[in-house]
Structure 1
Amino acid sequence: MLSDPLVMRDLVRNPTEDTANASIERHIGYRARHGIGFWTVEEAGQVAGLCGLKPGAPNTPIEGELEIGWLLAQPFWGRGLATEAARVSLGWAWEHTVASRVVAITAASHLKSQDVMLRLGMSRLPDGDFDHPLYGAEDPMRATVTFAVSRPETAH
């Protein structure tokens, strides 16, 4: 999944097994260093994808914030799994962290991801658009948008 060009089209240019392995190692490090990370999303006993929390990316406006993300393999697209898994991840964040909000970023052109953000009750931050430093000036993925959801009043 992490090396599938269609799955990764809005995240990584020319994904390979090496980029997939680097991503896995990065996420293992998040859990080891920060106590957060992505979990496996399953459906009917099959691995469908990943979802969870991580530190906001360095050199971006969300650095130091709690970021939520998700990624599903192609056969599991369009079933509501990303939204369901992300809701569970948000619940975990409210129960186990002191974060006042959770943020998410995506390419401005990645409307399906933005749809999930809206279903989660996230709002696009008016001052959250930025050029992601991992992408070149001509890369359409460089234009990035930020969404956020505040901690519910009932969460401790």
Structure 2
Amino acid sequence: MQENTDLGVLLNLAFGSFKEQLHQHLAEQGYADIGSSFGYVFRLLKNNPQNLKQVADSLAMTPQGALKIINDMVQKAYVQREDDVNDARVRLLHLTPRALALMEVAQAFHREFEHRLSERLGASKVKAMRAVLEQIVADGEASADGVPKLRPL
């Protein structure tokens, strides 16, 4: 790695490396079929079923684009559609037990990845890195309407 690599490039390369290792681990655990935007949708729906428009708005994409992702997730048994008890015209999106199990595997990987970094670099460096990344995210979170957006890469 060049010493003068732009910070944005370095952040992107680091994320790409992390994501590649995560996807390899998930594939080894039986989840080789996840799409690049699935993680964003998992986080959106984990504790709060939403309709398609809400998902699209949170991902800052068109409903048609979100529908493509959701249809893929439904076909792969990660998301299911259910009628909204308050409005029969609305279908709510829920995570399936398969999606919840995948999330547990992924979250364990995240913790282990950070633990391995701490062992190699020292806990104080990893804590400082985390603080810097959290500040970068906080500085960029606010959108025009004040609602944080999740954006697929």
Question: Normalising by the residue count of structure 1, what TM-score does the alignment of the two structures yield?
Answer: 0.31
Please identify which structure carries the higher strand content: 1
Please identify which structure carries the higher helix content: 2
- RCO (CA 8 Å, sep 6+): is it higher in 1 or 2? 2
Question: Normalising by the residue count of structure 2, what TM-score does the alignment of the two structures yield?
Answer: 0.32
